[in-house]
Amino acid sequence: MIRAVMVAVATVTACTVLLAGVGAGIGWAVGTYSPGYYRSVFRSGNEPWFDPVAVGVGLGLTQGVAGGVVVGLAVVAILTWREVRLHRLATPDAEPGAAADRGRMRNRPTLLYGTLLLCLLGVLAIAVIQLLDKEGRLNPHSFTGHIVVLASPFFGVAAAAGWWRAHRWLPFAALGVAAVCVAVGLWGNLADYISWSRTPPGREVMHFGAFIGMLWSWLLCLGLVATGLVAWGVGWWQRGRAEPGAAADGGA
């Protein structure tokens, strides 16, 4: 019991430190290579004392810590459910259809296709919103590299879904992460567009929702990858423990 608690605490701590570092890195990159973004977000962004790098690192760090705690708890919950499920399947009086259900959960291409479709819809939706002018018309000339940056989490989620497609339950997690990323991305970009479209010319607009959506989407994507790596490590460790017992039974 104590060992399980220590593993859970270590998992949450590791996810928190990892995603805090990632969030701080993303904030530093945005503040360094696109400082005008933070200057347009904050009302005091054009003041001489405003430091976009420090602001980006601070925002990324705090949001990364919050996201790391959430992801870490989710990882612990998923792995706990997995252990309970495997224990039930291993017991002699397990339900008759449990083994069949376990086999049917593998290699479901529908989950992968659904995840990829959601990722594609998310990329297209963000691109369309960013290309709209104040009258709601598409303006292809406004395409810039920041659209690719805002949509980048979906590429990560799609890659993770493809990598873990043969797992028993990770495809479900990938589908859920893709759906949440679409919702968060649409919320952030639509909120920014509505605020910008209603603002009279010459007035300052705070474009903050799209950045929050991108950051949280990346945190969810990295949480999915971390969950997959932890699940793979646990499975590898369990197989290593089972092999000596199987060899001893064979020798007997």
Domain assignments of the chain as residue spans, ordered by start: 2-92+99-236
pLDDT at res. 105: 47
* 153 Cβ neighbours under 8 A, 6+ residues apart: 181, 185, 214, 217, 218, 220, 221
CA 104 to CA 52: how far, in whole Å?
51
CA 181 to CA 238: how far, in whole Å?
32
pLDDT at res. 245: 52
Alpha carbon 58 to its chain's center = 20
Q: Where are the alpha helices (DSSP H) in the chain?
A: 2-33, 35-41, 52-90, 98-104, 109-131, 145-163, 170-197, 209-251
pLDDT at res. 243: 57
Burial label, 209 (beta-carbon count in 10 A; 0-12, 13-18, 19+): buried
pLDDT at res. 4: 61
Pull the structure tokens for residue 160. 């993770």
Model confidence, pTM: 0.59
Alpha carbon 29 to its chain's center = 19
pLDDT at res. 94: 47
DSSP letter for each residue of 11-41: HHHHHHHHHHHHHHHHHHHHHHH-HHHHHHH
Sole residue written with tokens 């980006």 = 56
CB 219 within 8 A of CB 22: yes
Three-state DSSP class for residue 132: strand
The single-letter DSSP state of residue 200 is P
CA 45 to CA 195: how far, in whole Å?
18
CA 192 to CA 208: how far, in whole Å?
7
| Per-residue confidence in pLDDT tens, the chain, 252 aa | 566 667 677 777 887 888 788 888 888 887 887 777 777 777 777 777 888 888 888 888 887 787 777 777 777 777 677 666 666 666 555 444 444 444 444 446 788 888 899 899 989 988 888 888 877 888 877 777 777 777 888 888 888 888 878 777 788 888 888 888 888 888 888 888 887 787 777 665 666 778 788 888 888 888 888 777 777 777 677 666 665 555 455 555
CA 252 to CA 250: how far, in whole Å?
5
Backbone angles phi, psi at 162, to 5 degrees: -65, -35
pLDDT at res. 89: 62
